[in-house]
Amino acid sequence: MNRPRELWMTRIGFVFAAAGSAIGLGNLWRFPYIAGTYGGGAFVLIYLLAVIAIGLPIMVAELLIGRSAQLSPVGAFTRLGKNKWWKIVGWLGVASGFVILSYYCVVGGWIIDYIVKSSLNLFHGRSPAEIEGMFDILLKNPLLLVFYHALFLLLTTYIVSRGISMGIERWNNILIPVLFGLLLLLTINSLFSPGAREGIKFLFHPDFSKITPAAILEAMGQAFFSLSLGMGAMITYGSYLDRDTNLMNSAAEVCVLDTIVALMGGMIIFPVVFSYGLAPSAGPGLFFKTLPVAFSFLPGGRLVATLFFILLVFAAVTSAISLLEVVVSYFIDERKWGRKKAAFLVGFAIFLFGVPSALSSNLLKDVTLLKGMNIFSSLDFLATNYMLTIGGLLIALFCGWFLSRKTMEEMTINGNNLFLYRIWRFVIRYITPLAVLLVLLQKTGIIAI
């Protein structure tokens, strides 16, 4: 239990590593299409509220739990919980990581295909309609999809099998700034497209009639997904932190970075959508149907596109690592498996579990689980909107009501403003759990707001 843990080398290194977990497909692929489906501006507004009132406080809570326990989630709840039932929150997190990674890798695989396509210049000179069609053709190719799914997972598994902390830190220090620069370029590019005005209006002008219980649940789920919360990923990252780090500032920085990237994703995609008469509610394919179009009116598009998709695969891998690490560290810490064995066995199990998601648009397209959604979307819906949010609710309750006073006050020893600490403590005890609970209850129809 007292083995020395590697620590992050610099505070910024840590912020970038945590941002590396947060920034991924959730920002550029998931956020725009969910926002597009649930009404644009109104959704974005609720999303921002969820980040501030729910995401930020829970991120602080997860980091604090991880740092004081110096253990992965299951161990952390066992050690700090003084009650064996809290372990279940850790298990729920392990299960969420398993499920999310199984389809996250499928999307990661789609991006790999787009590296290949853009490096071969296959998007060049095609009309938006043809580019849209190319994505649908990819979805009809079961072998290729399973192959890419396996490739993406192999990359993730390999990195996790070698141990994460130092490698990740170095990668992210380079990756995040470069990705940021490229996104900025793309955003500016999109702002000059003919549909820019309409796209930006769609994204930022709330139409309050579009706020429904379903949209509120999705916005909250998206906040958990995008910030990597609700399953203990940030507990793991916090366990590599030393006592001198100011958790409140670090968490705020991660939330801001993540939100900027998501909003940039929207500002890149919606102008293209409105320039070419595509549908904002195109679903999971939205990113893939619009991005190549955005590149087509950029000078040097082929090179920039290839570089962009490569960077995005890395951003996705750094997120996938944090999902896998939660599951793997459970087997290492609690079952005493070696890291290599744990990484490859878990990786293989996730591969198998993810195959039906890869096939859900072709061989298994008639199989529906929840509300007529295919396997892929059903797993995503269940994991994001229920597993993560319930996990987050329990983490908030644990932190607010069951952590010892001494542990809570670790928040104040490193220059944290006492006033901010008190606000956070109030929010994590009352506001956050109530907000999550209300959203869940009103969606299930138990209460109506």
DSSP 83: S
Rounded to a whole number of angstroms, the minimum distance from the CB of residue 25 to ligand TRP is: 4
Considering only residues 72, 165, 226, 389, which one is a binding residue for ligand TRP as defined by CB under 6 A?
226
Which residues, other chains included, contact 314 with Cβ-Cβ below 8 Å and sequence gap of 6+?
Answer: 171, 175
Looking up tokens 């009309």 gives: 127
Q: At its nearest, how many Å lie between ligand TRP and the CB of residue 387?
A: 9
- Name residue 368's beta-bridge partners: 374
Q: Cβ of residue 414: shortest distance to ligand TRP, in angstroms?
A: 25
Asked whether position 25 contacts ligand TRP by CB under 6 A, the answer is yes
- Give the interface segment with ligand TRP, choosing from 19-27, 76-84, 148-156, 270-278 (CB under 6 A): 19-27
Cα Rg of the chain (Å, integer): 21
Window contacting ligand TRP (CB under 6 A); options: 7-15, 24-32, 167-175, 356-364: 24-32
Q: Token match 């969910």: residue?
A: 34
Residue with tokens 């497909």: 25
Q: Which residue has the tokens 């796209």?
A: 199
Interaction of residue 355 with ligand TRP, rule CB under 6 A: no
Pick the piece of the chain touching ligand TRP (CB under 6 A) from 60-68, 130-138, 212-220, 222-230. Answer: 222-230
Q: 31 or 276: whose CB is closer to ligand TRP?
A: 31
Give the span between the Cα atoms of 228 and 165, in whole angstroms.
17
Smallest gap, in angstroms, from Cβ of residue 326 to ligand TRP?
A: 7
Q: What is the DSSP string of 124-144?
A: TT--HHHHHHHHHHHHT-HHH
Q: How many CB atoms lie within 10 A of CB 389?
A: 25
State which residue, 131 or 261, has the beta carbon closest to ligand TRP.
261
Residue whose Cβ sits closest to ligand TRP = 26
Q: Interaction with ligand TRP in 356-395: which residues (CB under 6 A)?
A: 388
- Looking up tokens 């109030």 gives 426
- Shortest separation between residue 225's beta carbon and ligand TRP, angstroms: 5
Q: How far apart are the first and last CA of the chain?
A: 47
Residue 102 lies near ligand TRP (rule: CB under 6 A): no
Question: Which is closer to ligand TRP, CB of 62 or CB of 132?
Answer: 62
21 binds ligand TRP (CB under 6 A): yes
Task: Pick from 152, 225, 276, 351 the residue near ligand TRP by CB under 6 A.
Answer: 225
Binding residue for ligand TRP, selected from 61, 267, 269, 323, defined by CB under 6 A: 323
Whole-angstrom distance, CA of residue 266 vs CA of residue 227: 17
Stretch that binds ligand TRP, among 193-201, 319-327, 358-366, 371-379 (CB under 6 A): 319-327
Q: How far apart are CA 342 and CA 157, in angstroms?
A: 10
Task: Quote the least distance from Cβ 111 to ligand TRP, whole Å.
Answer: 11
Q: Which is nearer to ligand TRP, 323 or 440 (CB)?
A: 323
319, 104 in Cβ contact below 8 A?
yes
What are the CA-CA distances from residue 318 to residues 93, 98, 258, 321 (Å)? Answer: 18, 16, 14, 5
Q: Residues touching ligand TRP: how many (CB under 6 A)?
A: 16
Residue type present at position 280: P
Which listed residue (156, 250, 259, 322) binds ligand TRP by CB under 6 A?
Answer: 322
Task: Indicate whether 228 belongs to the interface with ligand TRP (CB under 6 A).
Answer: yes
Residue 153 contacts residue 349 (beta carbons within 8 Å): no
Does residue 236 interact with ligand TRP by CB under 6 A?
Answer: no
CA dist., res. 427 & res. 254, Å (int): 19
Torsion, Cα of 340, 344, 346, 349 (10° steps): -160
Q: Stretches 16-24, 127-135, 395-403, 428-436: which one binds ligand TRP (CB under 6 A)?
A: 16-24
Q: Three-state DSSP class for 374? A: strand
In the complex, the residues that contact ligand TRP under the rule CB under 6 A are: 21-22, 24-27, 100, 225-226, 228, 231, 233, 319, 322-323, 388
